[in-house]
Amino acid sequence: MTAKTGTRKTYHHGDMQAALLRSARTLLEKEGITALRLRAITRHAGVSPMAAMPHFGNLTGLLSTLAAIGYEELADTMEPVITQDHHAIGMAYVNFAITRPGLFTLMFRSDAIDRNHPRLSAAQNRTSAMLTQVAETSGQTQGPHTHTGLKAALWGKVHGLAVLAIDGLLAPLLQDETSSETFAELISDALR
């Protein structure tokens, strides 16, 4: 008769990188950015903290990769509406923030990520190119306005609304039956 061996509750799988990113994202959305510690992420994935090193180097590498995924998803969200007016892009941007508040917050936390991370830089550039396209096609770059200045202004306005929305500060304005129309008007007004 063979002795029953205890079962280990540790992770063993061929795609460690994806498992660690899933664990980080789950913790981020459930517990917030302060929960993102290497030990907590690896514990959630069922591996030792050293298991992350070959894939990411350190916590900053892991979080930078996760932020890059966020920018990639944001670009994927905005891409279908890029040919519509800039209000549609604004709505896509804000809706992305509302549906992924933890990820959205991480994407803009320079203290947690490395902006020079190759995948993150590429993803940010893709999103930035879309915002440039919106500025160039808006028809508002005549006179003293430049594409760069307009892009910064449009991005600042929609980003501000996104942050206010995920922080719950727009809720008092959006409590009636016309709240979705009101929200669309807020974005439309901000992007004029």
Q: Specify the pLDDT at position 179.
A: 57
- Per cent of the chain over pLDDT 90 is 52
Against a cut of 0.85, is the pTM above it? no
CA dihedral 136, 115, 80, 21 (to 10 degrees): 180
The model's confidence at residue 184, banded by pLDDT at 50, 70 and 90, is: low
How many folded domains does the chain comprise? 2
User: Is residue 39 located within the same domain as residue 96?
Assistant: no
Q: Is residue 121 part of a domain?
A: yes
Residues 51 and 71 in one domain: no
114 and 43 part of one domain: no
User: Tell me: the pLDDT tens digits for 131-178?
Assistant: 888 777 766 655 555 767 777 888 888 899 899 989 988 777 666 555
CATH classification at residue 22:
1.10.10
107 pLDDT band, cuts 50/70/90, is very high
Contact 41, 20 (CB under 8 A): yes
Residue type (1 letter), 118: P
Residue pair 126/75 in contact by the 8 Å Cβ criterion? yes
Residue 29 inside a domain? The answer is yes
Which range of residues forms the domain containing residue 125?
58-190
User: In this structure, are 82 and 165 located in the same domain?
Assistant: yes
Task: Please check whether residues 52 and 63 belong to one and the same domain.
Answer: no
Judgement on whether residues 88 and 174 belong to the same structural domain of the protein: yes
Here the CATH number for the domain that contains residue 130 is 1.10.357.10
C-alpha span between 102 and 27 (Å, rounded): 9
Contact 69, 21 (CB under 8 A): yes
Q: Is there a domain that residue 5 lies in?
A: no
- Same domain? For 22 and 92 the reply is no
Of 58-67, 124-133, 143-152, the range with the lowest mean pLDDT is 143-152
